């Protein structure tokens, strides 16, 4: 198939783009490189990179070079919950306006299949954990609101012009791909695992945001899913698209680990002591967010195959192999 991968120079998008190209698909990545790394896809056979901002005027012109496209996988957007409170307009522009422009282009280009990177952030602070897809969508951050808005736009497109879409609601994507080609290198990095591994390597302290919440040890409980399992979910999602429907699936491990448990596991994996620093809870951070993954198991025949220690071991090996991140210039 001819595929357009929006945001495919980023962490998850580049890993998915590579898997799809090695399975024989022709992949065009469109990315503005605001947060991604050209190096993440450079030199991979079957992948071409176009540099463009989805939310800027002239997207049609930029994507004319993509050639015919049968399906779109859409990863592009801003991803930091905390930053979204400071810049809600920037988040709406990048995430909602950008998605609307991509959908308008897809409609005109005759694309009928779409896979979107949604987020556990759509649930806000769920009443029930593990949270099923049927839970109310009540985001507690501007970031989460943008994900709900895009899922709504997909539902509109399904109804109006028969688009078939799958929204994958990721929990915490983590780890590095097998062979270490793709790893997590966000700038600034707000995700726990890369931050604590950097702290393990440098001896600096990693902040723990919130230590007396309503969880067994007082720290936030999250669900960490290995990047290779997440990649596999995309391959299955692409096959599971049904014309005129939007299907949403949680993609997580189906079990949670507290910040202190992740730190203890990281100390075991790295053989180093991780220094910590207690900080107040962050806005928009629910105490506990764990996926109910039974729907994906049933409908996509997907289930995670790797646990937290494998996530940490792959991320540690990636970090040691590239101490400066992509281009050796980690921020
Ligand atoms: N990483 C996670 O744990 C996680 C969890 C839930 C949801 N998600 C979602 O998955 C997607 C990918 O996340 P990631 O961790 O790979 O993030 P990332 O920042 O590494 O990748 C996002 C990519 O989108 C590009 N981009 C941003 N705005 C753009 C625009 N206007 N036009 C073109 N390109 C643009 C960036 O340059 C970057 O390459 C995001 O939509 C994110 O919200 C990620």
- The values of phi and psi at residue 48, to 5°, are -120, 140
| Structure token pair of residue 236 | 């299955």
The β-bridge partners of 170 are 119, 251
Tell me how far apart the alpha carbons of residues 147 and 261 are, in angstroms, rounded to a whole number. 29
- Identify whether 60 is preceded by a cis peptide bond (ω within 30 of 0): no
Angle at 164 between CA 21 and CA 14, to 5 degrees: 25
User: From the centroid of its chain, how far is CA 67?
Assistant: 26
Report which ligand 1 atom has the smallest distance to the Cα of 33.
Answer: 37
Measured by CA distance, the residue closest to atom 43 of ligand 1 is: 79
The β-bridge partners of 4 are 28, 72
In Å, what is the CA distance from 10 to each residue of 36, 293, 304?
A: 4, 25, 22
Residue 252 DSSP symbol? S
Choosing from 11, 91, 123, 143, the catalytic residue is: 143
Report the pLDDT value the prediction gives residue 178, as an integer from 0 to 100: 94
pLDDT in tens, 88-103: 999 999 999 999 999 9
Tell me how far apart the alpha carbons of residues 120 and 221 are, in angstroms, rounded to a whole number. 13
Measured by CA distance, the residue closest to atom 11 of ligand 1 is: 75
Tell me how far apart the alpha carbons of residues 52 and 27 are, in angstroms, rounded to a whole number. 16
Provide the CB-side half-sphere exposure for 207 (13 A, CA). 9
Q: Are 185 and 11 in contact (CB under 8 A)?
A: yes
Q: Are 186 and 44 in contact (CB under 8 A)?
A: no
| Structure token pair of residue 122 | 């759509």
Measured by CA distance, the residue closest to atom 21 of ligand 1 is: 10
H helices of the chain, in order, are 11-22, 59-64, 81-86, 88-91, 98-108, 142-161, 192-202, 227-240, 259-270, 294-300, 308-321
Report the pLDDT value the prediction gives residue 75, as an integer from 0 to 100: 98
pLDDT in tens, 19-49: 999 999 999 999 999 999 999 999 999 999 9
Beta carbons within 10 angstroms of residue 220's beta carbon: 25
Pocket of ligand 1 (CB under 6 A): 7, 9-13, 31-36, 53-55, 75-79, 94, 98, 117, 119, 170, 172-173, 186
Report the pLDDT value the prediction gives residue 330, as an integer from 0 to 100: 52
Tell me how far apart the alpha carbons of residues 256 and 292 are, in angstroms, rounded to a whole number. 11
Whole-number Å distance, alpha carbon 66 to ligand 1 midpoint, is 20
Beta carbons within 10 angstroms of residue 44's beta carbon: 17
Tell me how far apart the alpha carbons of residues 312 and 316 are, in angstroms, rounded to a whole number. 6
Mutate which of 4, 6, 9, 12 for ligand 1? The one with the most ligand atoms within 8 Å of its CB, which is 12
Measured by CA distance, the residue closest to atom 34 of ligand 1 is: 31
Q: Is 143 a catalytic residue?
A: yes
Report which ligand 1 atom has the smallest distance to the Cα of 170.
Answer: 6
Spans of the chain below 50 pLDDT? 331
Whole-number Å distance, alpha carbon 249 to ligand 1 midpoint, is 18
Mutate which of 53, 76, 118 for ligand 1? The one with the most ligand atoms within 8 Å of its CB, which is 76
Question: Where do we find the tokens 């629910």?
Answer: 286
What is the set of domains in the chain, with CATH numbers?
Answer: 2-173+225-251 (3.40.50.720), 178-223+254-328 (3.90.25.10)
């Amino acid at each position: 198939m001819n595929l357009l991968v929006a945001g495919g120079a980023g962490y998850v998008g580049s890993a998915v783009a590579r898997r799809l190209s090695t399975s024989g698909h022709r992949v065009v990545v469109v990315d503005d490189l605001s947060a991604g790394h050209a190096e993440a896809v450079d030199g991979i056979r079957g992948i071409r990179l176009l540099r463009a901002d989805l939310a800027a005027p002239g997207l049609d012109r930029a994507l004319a070079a993509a050639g015919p496209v049968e399906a779109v996988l859409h990863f592009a957007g801003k991803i930091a919950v905390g930053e979204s409170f400071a810049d809600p307009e920037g988040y709406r522009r990048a995430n909602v306006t950008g998605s609307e422009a991509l959908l308008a282009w897809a409609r005109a280009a005759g694309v009928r299949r779409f896979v979107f990177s949604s987020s556990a952030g759509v649930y806000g602070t769920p009443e029930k954990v593990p949270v099923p897809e049927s839970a109310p969508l009540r985001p507690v951050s501007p970031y989460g609101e943008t994900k709900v808005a895009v899922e709504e736009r997909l539902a509109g497109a399904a109804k109006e012009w028969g688009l078939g879409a799958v929204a994958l609601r990721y929990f915490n994507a983590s780890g590095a791909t097998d062979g270490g080609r793709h790893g997590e290198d966000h700038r600034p990095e707000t995700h726990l695992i890369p931050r604590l591994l950097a702290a393990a390597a440098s001896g600096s302290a990693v902040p723990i945001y919130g230590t007396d919440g309503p969880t067994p040890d007082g720290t936030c409980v999250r669900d960490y899913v290995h990047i290779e399992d997440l990649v596999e979910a995309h391959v299955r999602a692409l096959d599971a698209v049904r014309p005129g429907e939007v299907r949403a699936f949680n993609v997580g491990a189906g079990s949670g680990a507290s910040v202190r448990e992740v730190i203890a596991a990281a100390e075991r994996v790295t053989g180093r002591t991780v220094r910590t620093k207690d900080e107040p809870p962050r806005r928009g951070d629910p105490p506990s967010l764990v996926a109910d993954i039974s729907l994906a198991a049933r409908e996509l025949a997907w289930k995670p195959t790797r646990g937290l220690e494998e996530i940490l071991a792959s991320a540690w090996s990636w970090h040691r192999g590239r101490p400066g991140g992509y281009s050796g210039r980690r921020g």
